[in-house]
Amino acid sequence: MVAVVALVAVLVGWMAVKPSDEDDAFTVTNNPLPEVEPDGPVRDDPQAEAEARTRTASLMRGFGQSRDAVFAVIAMMGPAQEAKAGGDDPVELAAAPAPPTPTTTTAPVEVTQPPPVPHVEPAPEVQPGNEVAAPAFEPPAPPGPSPEELAAQQAAAEQAAAEQATAEQAAAEQAAAEQATAEQAAAEQAAAEQAAAEAEAAAASSGGVWSPAPGSTWQIQLINGVDMDHPVDVYEISLHTTSSATIAELHNRGHSVVCYFSAGTIENWRPDAGDYPEWIKGNAVDGWPDERWIDIRAWDAAVGGLMNNIMVLAKEKGCDGVDADNMNAYTHNTGFGLTAADQLIFNRRVADTAHAHGLGIGLKNNLGQIGELVGHFDWSINESCYNYSECHLLEPFADAGKAIFAIMYGDISPLCGDAQNRGISLIAKDRLLGAWRTSC
């Protein structure tokens, strides 16, 4: 039954949509809709517009009639269903009266004409040679370093600069050291040449000075007056504490006299201690706090004059020669950083000064420079060479036909045979160098 009703509704609707005579009377009073042709100007067509509106109105009437028909069919179905429920007699449905034709009033529709489409000029045709070059592609710049990276870069740059400065400083220091070494070598060469010349002059000037014969016997006493009863060839006494009368008496007894003084140091008890300026005084001598090393390099400024005064005093007192002690200052902690070259120059100048005053001079200790100094000194005086197995270093003096005087502090009896074979005049003494002595 529902299907029948639906079919009836469709048929009624189709009939309603079919144009009728009344459609011809349907008119539209609204403004015509403009027709827009593609890529062309807007054109008005009143006849086509009227036909379109007529078709629209007819469709609307048809749909309304279809709706009314459906409602009528549904209304008729109600009683029929009730009758069927009451008995088995068929019920004949009466034809439903046609619904009244609705009167449709079409309200005027106002259509607003759209604004005209602006005319757009076509793009000019690109001719060969008239092309516009596209801008070159530039990739975006990479992001900059972070603050931490900047700090690390700066630290690395500063470290590199510091390392460069350190390397440059090291190179400069090395160059300066090499230059200093070259200058020192040149100075030593010049000193050696000067020493050779001075040796020749010393040999010529020392021809008239006194010197002890090899194998001479001797005694050294520097304190408590002089004991003149020792049967020896040579007496060595203190220059500053021995009078001229004592020296003269020794001469009267047939002794030669050597006067002792310290050339490389100054003792504070000496009469000439006040003549030494403070600036040439260095460290104290080990074991002798009242004695200080002097700067032997200051010859022209002070030391040369002091040595000359000593030689004058020795000559005035009647000394035959001098024993200049502490002539190896470069091997000690003097406070001046003295070199072997400094020592050679000083020792030769002292010897030349003694010879200039007609005095012989002995070299005290300084075994390391005997080879360079044997030509400048007239004999050698040594302490304790047997204690250090160094006595063989004295041989240059023996080979040169010069005397060698040696002191040992202790028993010398086991050493006498060797000493005689080496040409050493060996005696035993106490460390204060008083009157006591023994000899081989």
Give tens-digit pLDDT for 122-158.
655 656 665 556 667 777 777 888 888 889 999 999 9
CA dihedral 5, 11, 12, 13 (to 10 degrees): 110
Least confident of 59-63, 241-245, 275-279, 366-370: 59-63
Residue 358, φ and ψ in degrees, nearest 5: 75, 25
178 located within any domain: no
Least confident of 56-60, 280-284, 352-356, 378-382: 56-60
pLDDT of 378 above 60:
yes
Task: Indicate if 72 and 194 belong to the same structural domain.
Answer: no
Rounded average pLDDT over 248-270: 98
Tell me how far apart the alpha carbons of residues 148 and 142 are, in angstroms, rounded to a whole number.
17
Rounded average pLDDT over 242-259: 98
C-alpha closest to that of 338 among 346, 349, 330, 347: 330
Tell me how far apart the alpha carbons of residues 306 and 133 are, in angstroms, rounded to a whole number.
100
- At residue 399, the pLDDT reads 97
Sequence-ordered alpha helix ranges (H) in 357-415:
370-373, 395-399
β-pairing verdict for 360-364 and 321-325: parallel
- At residue 368, the pLDDT reads 95
152 located within any domain: no
Measured CA distances, 433 to 167, 237, 407, 429 (Å): 58, 10, 10, 6
389 located within any domain: yes
Neighbour count for residue 231 (Cβ, 10 Å): 9
Which amino acid is present at 7?
Answer: L
Which helix H or strand E contains 383, and what residues bound it? strand 379-383
3-state secondary structure of 12: helix
- At residue 11, the pLDDT reads 53
Tell me how far apart the alpha carbons of residues 357 and 314 are, in angstroms, rounded to a whole number.
9
- At residue 86, the pLDDT reads 46
Instruction: Output 267 or 134, whichever has higher pLDDT.
Output: 267
- At residue 201, the pLDDT reads 54
Partners of residue 201 on adjacent β-strands: none
Of the candidates 23, 51, 83, which is a domain's last residue? 83
Q: What is the DSSP string of 259-296?
A: EEEESSEEETTSTTGGGS-GGGEEEEETTEEEEEEE-T
Instruction: Output 338 or 101, whichever has higher pLDDT.
Output: 338
Rounded average pLDDT over 304-310: 98
Q: Which two tokens stand for residue 15?
A: 């009939």
Tell me how far apart the alpha carbons of residues 216 and 221 are, in angstroms, rounded to a whole number.
17
111 located within any domain: no
The order of strands in the sheet holding 404-408 is 218-220, 234-238, 256-262, 321-325, 360-364, 379-383, 404-408, 424-428, 438-439
Which helix H or strand E contains 35, and what residues bound it? strand 35-36
Name 149's Cβ contacts closer than 8 Å, sequence gap at least 6: none
- At residue 85, the pLDDT reads 46
227 located within any domain: yes
- At residue 145, the pLDDT reads 84
Task: Indicate if 209 and 64 belong to the same structural domain.
Answer: no
Of 35-44, 101-110, 134-143, highest mean pLDDT: 134-143
Tell me how far apart the alpha carbons of residues 311 and 306 are, in angstroms, rounded to a whole number.
9
- At residue 53, the pLDDT reads 72
Q: Which two tokens stand for residue 98?
A: 């046609």
Tell me how far apart the alpha carbons of residues 433 and 220 are, in angstroms, rounded to a whole number.
7
CATH number of the domain that residue 328 is part of: 3.20.20.70
Give tens-digit pLDDT for 320-360.
999 999 999 999 999 999 999 999 999 999 999 999 999 99
The whole-chain average pLDDT of the chain stands at 81
C-alpha closest to that of 236 among 257, 254, 209: 257
Rounded average pLDDT over 63-83: 55
Rounded average pLDDT over 376-388: 97
Which amino acid is present at 58?
Answer: S
Of the candidates 31, 54, 83, which is a domain's last residue? 83
C-alpha closest to that of 12 among 74, 78, 79: 74
262 located within any domain: yes
Tell me how far apart the alpha carbons of residues 349 and 221 are, in angstroms, rounded to a whole number.
27
Partners of residue 417 on adjacent β-strands: none
407 located within any domain: yes
- At residue 208, the pLDDT reads 84
- At residue 35, the pLDDT reads 47
Instruction: Output 98 or 142, whichever has higher pLDDT.
Output: 142
Name 411's Cβ contacts closer than 8 Å, sequence gap at least 6: 428
157 located within any domain: no
Tell me how far apart the alpha carbons of residues 207 and 28 are, in angstroms, rounded to a whole number.
164
- Position of tokens 């040696």? 406
What domain range includes position 418? 190-439
Considering its fold, how many domains does the chain have in total? Answer: 2
Partners of residue 383 on adjacent β-strands: 407
Number of C-alpha atoms within 13 angstroms, CB side, residue 129? 0
pLDDT of 228 above 80:
yes
pLDDT of 277 above 60:
yes
pLDDT of 232 above 80:
yes
Give tens-digit pLDDT for 160-214.
999 999 999 999 999 998 998 888 888 877 766 665 555 555 555 556 899 999 9
Of the candidates 83, 107, 122, which is a domain's last residue? 83
Name 326's Cβ contacts closer than 8 Å, sequence gap at least 6: 262, 263, 264, 265, 285, 293, 364
| % the chain with pLDDT above 90 | 58
